[in-house]
Amino acid sequence: MNEKAMILTDYHVQHVLRAYSQQLSVKSRISKEKIAKNTGQKDEVTLSRESKKMLIIEKIANEIIAQLTNGSPRNETGQVLLKRLSQEYGRPLDVASDDGQGMAFKVLGETNGGVKEYLAPAENNQLKKRLYEMTKSFVNEQLISI
């Protein structure tokens, strides 16, 4: 029988082993990069239901207050809020835009409805904060009733 034996030199064995180890290191590096991409940090923010609700309430409250100050006809909600604030303050109030810089509260005359006096800045700021809190509370009440 004519059998042929394959003779491998040390050079061939070392070359095969070197190529095999290089392939392993490349595949290992690629798999590590894939894992890093899949488990990398993602910029994702999750809000709780309560946080979402508060954001919605604040947005609606800001819109209501903007309607109160922009000079458009007052809707029922605006009238209710101004009435509550007036009752809490003890005198009839009206609110308007302060030359684009915010709200200006004024005390109305009880007989003819005209402006009796404009409020001082400190008192004006307190009423702004109180109106904002009342508006948020009112919106929250309305959302609960839905």
Buried b (16+ CB within 10 A) or exposed e, 33-69: eeeeeeeeeeeeeeeeeeeeeeeebeebbeebbeebb
For residue 143, what are the contacts with CB-CB under 8 A and spacing of at least 6?
53, 56, 57
69/77 Cα distance (integer angstroms): 13
Once rounded to an integer, what is the mean pLDDT over residues 121-126?
89
Structure confidence by residue, pLDDT tens digits, 19-71: 878 888 887 777 777 776 666 566 677 778 888 888 999 999 988 888 888 87
Q: pLDDT per residue over 114-123, tens digit each?
A: 667 888 888 9
DSSP for residue 106: E
